[in-house]
């Protein structure tokens, strides 16, 4: 994101999955800290223009008069945020912490809970209805694939992103056959996990 004074700064919010006021305030705070300006939450043209003005963007027009051409120029540098509520499931505390660290690159994604086994994951998903469940496969009490099948029933709008050390082709196929799922090897988590989450959000 360009900083204040760079001449072209704007933040557009194309997708607003607002579940509560806390999520909106968190997003506003994140944008304010990065762009150094006040924030207008909205997805329409007027909101984008007002935000651009608040960020001291030179729109090439007098105050209160903004042309379509100026809006297009600002629009080219807008950043689009998709809010998401995420449940992390892994029997390893170290890996749960690692996933949090990786996902922290996207402040618009909120970690709403963690679970340490498949049964706990199903219970948390049923109660919280997360947008994304980052789910290990090899876990006690209930493995990730069986847990995913139950989560699909209890929280049908949740997307599953499997994150596991198991690259066996039969396991991968069984995981993807659950539906609404993505598969990331833990060895590639640093580079692929955020991509998988973002892709899952676009498909939801």
Query: pLDDT tens track of the chain, all 204 residues?
Result: 444 344 433 444 333 333 334 444 555 555 555 555 544 444 344 444 444 444 444 434 333 333 333 333 333 333 445 789 999 999 999 999 999 999 999 999 999 999 999 999 999 999 999 999 999 999 999 999 999 999 999 999 999 999 999 888 999 999 999 998 999 999 999 999 999 999 999 987
Give, for 126, the enclosing helix (H) or strand (E).
helix 118-128
Query: For the chain, how many helices (H) and strands (E)?
Result: 8, 7
Rounded Cα distance, 72 and 80, in Å: 15
pTM of the full structure:
0.63
Integer angstrom CA distances of residue 160 from 53, 92, 117, 151: 39, 18, 15, 9
Question: What domains can be seen in the chain, in order of their start residue?
Answer: 10-81 (no CATH), 84-203 (3.40.50.2300)
Grouping H, G, I as helix, E, B as strand and the rest as coil, residue 144 is: helix
């Amino acid at each position: 994101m360009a900083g204040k004074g760079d001449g072209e700064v704007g933040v557009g919010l194309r997708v607003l999955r607002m579940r509560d006021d806390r999520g909106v305030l968190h997003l506003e705070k994140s944008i304010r800290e990065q762009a150094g300006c006040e924030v207008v939450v909205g997805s329409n043209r007027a909101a984008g223009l007002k935000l651009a003005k608040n960020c001291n963007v030179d729109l090439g027009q007098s105050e209160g008069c903004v042309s379509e051409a100026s809006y297009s120029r600002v629009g080219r540098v807008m950043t689009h945020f998709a809010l998401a509520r995420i449940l992390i499931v892994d029997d390893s505390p170290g890996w749960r912490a690692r996933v949090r660290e990786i996902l922290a690159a996207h402040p618009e994604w909120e970690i709403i809970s963690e679970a340490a086994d498949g049964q706990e994951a199903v219970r948390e998903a049923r109660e919280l209805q997360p947008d994304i469940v980052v789910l290990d496969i090899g876990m006690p009490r209930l493995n990730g694939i069986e847990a995913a099948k139950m989560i699909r029933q209890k929280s049908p709008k949740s997307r599953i992103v499997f994150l596991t050390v198991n690259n066996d082709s039969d396991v991968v196929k069984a995981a993807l056959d659950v539906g609404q799922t993505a598969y990331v090897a833990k060895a590639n988590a640093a580079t692929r996990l955020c991509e998988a989450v973002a892709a899952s959000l676009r498909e939801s």
